[in-house]
Amino acid sequence: MDILTPVDGSDCSFRALGFATELADRYDGTVDVVHFAEAESAATDAVLDRAQRVLDAQDVDTDPEVSTDLEPEFRPSDRVGEDILDLVERRGYDHVVMGHSGAGALERAILGSTVETVVNADRVPVTVVP
């Protein structure tokens, strides 16, 4: 099982990463970690460093990556969701494990939800970790 786990720096995304590493270990799979950003910065480095610590603690041999292919749009969460789905199709992932902070209805109406975009596309099994 090849698992993709996007991380955004939130605690719930790192809980999802921890779950993904356990799932991969249990089913003899692999985990790839990606962080989407408009440009690399100290903030993206901090996210990748934290992700690497989680991977190292679970003895997972992979390096987190940053994707800067985003094009800013009015609904950036939807765009990130589409970028995740594009990555799933290009690389052939079997499963996506994502964290979700449980944003309220108003925030989802304004910004959209990356998780909702991926889940509603119904292209790949998704596990959502709160």
pLDDT at residue 37 is higher than 50: yes
Q: In the prediction, which pLDDT does 76 show? A: 60
pLDDT of residue 110: 41
Considering the chain, what percentage of its residues have pLDDT values greater than 70?
Answer: 83
Digit-coded pLDDT (tens) for 42-92: 888 899 999 999 999 988 888 888 887 655 444 466 688 999 999 999 999
Tell me the whole-structure pTM to 2 decimals.
0.83
Q: Percentage of the chain with pLDDT > 90? A: 52
- Scored b (16 or more CB within 10 A) or e, 38-56 reads eeeeeebeebbebbeebbe
- Give which of 98, 120, 48, 109 is closest to 74, Cα–Cα: 109
Average pLDDT over the chain reads 84
Q: Read off the pLDDT of residues 11-23 as tens digits, 9 standing for 90 and up.
A: 999 999 999 999 9
Which residues does 23 contact at the CB level (< 8 Å), separation at least 6? 1, 3, 29, 95, 97, 127
